[in-house]
Chains A and B, each alone.
Chain A
Amino acid sequence: MAELSPKEQLAFHEFSVRYRAAYAKKHPCPPQSLEVVREALWGEYEKEQEANRGPKIETPKIEPPTPAAGREPNEPDQDR
């Protein structure tokens, strides 16, 4: 099985460093990519906030008192 000589290893290392540097120079991080990152982080933050709030507790609805249909208003107490 082939083993790289130190000289060959250095050649690959030099190539890798130069290739990546040249690529970064040719294609610097565009604003669209940072926008994708920002959106992802806001989305994640909102999910966290929602999880921290916990499940919503169902509260019974309190209806305002309404006069029962057909029920007559109380008579004043005549016997008192």
Chain B
Amino acid sequence: MDDLIKLVKTYRFTAGVTERIPLAEKIFTRIEPDLRLFVFSSVAHQNAQDVLQEVLKAVATSLKQFQGGTEKEFWAWCYRIARNKLSDHFRKQATDRIQTVPPEDLWQMMDLSAQDAPISTATRHDLEYAMKLLTASKPECYDFLWNHFVFGRDYGDIAEERGMSYDNVRMKIGRCLEEAQSLVKNTALVA
């Protein structure tokens, strides 16, 4: 499989639209599922498809302006665009935010992944713990934890889009984690 960042760099230096389109197809075949997941885990499904289309258009038409040099920078750039489109959508429909994913849906995805990479008992135990933390988190924490731990976005990117300081985001995620850990611990004690 082609290196994603190589494709993006090649795209940047390609002038003709007929040469650009096949490269863009390769790039979007790789990134669309992650962008879809990002959008569909944030917006109610009846509107998510429209928002996703806006995200894809925005990424496609800005692709030549991407200045970074690493895959991590490219993903951060894509997620920034996606987050801006989500914010546009929420300005119009503030109540359209999605709720947490139920644990059984998360397990379903883990079982699907196990078809390609089997899960050992120890890993299964670790995954269960991670999923418990995510699903135990309070609604206002859910988005922070998913952005940071599932989409791999760093504190700086989350801070920028939310108009918060880096340290505030770091502390917020820490507190969310602490609360989730405490909830999971209490649930385990009760059980």
By a beta-carbon cutoff of 8 Å, the part of chain A in contact with chain B is 1-4, 7-8, 10-12, 14-16, 18-29, 33-34, 36-38, 40-45
Contacts and interface: CB of A to CB of B under 8 A. Distances in A.
B73 interface: no
Contacts, number: 120
Contacts of B181: 2
B contact face: mostly helix, strand, loop, or mixed = helix
Contacts of A4: 177
Interface stretch (B32-40, B77-85, B91-99): B32-40
Interface of B: 17, 20-21, 24-25, 28-30, 32-34, 36-37, 52-53, 56-57, 60-61, 106, 109-110, 112-117, 119, 123, 126-127, 129-131, 134, 149-152, 171, 174-175, 177-178, 181
A21 B119 CA distance: 14
A42 B37 CA distance: 26
B24 A37 contact: yes
Contacts of B36: 23, 27, 33
Nearest to A48: B17
15 contacts: A1-B174, A1-B175, A11-B127, A14-B123, A18-B113, A19-B113, A20-B34, A21-B117, A23-B33, A29-B29, A37-B25, A38-B24, A40-B56, A40-B57, A41-B20
A18 B112 CA distance: 9
A22 B110 contact: yes
A1 B180 CA distance: 12
A29 B151 CA distance: 18
Contacts of A28: 29, 33
Contacts of A15: 110, 127, 130-131, 134, 149-150
B127 A18 contact: yes
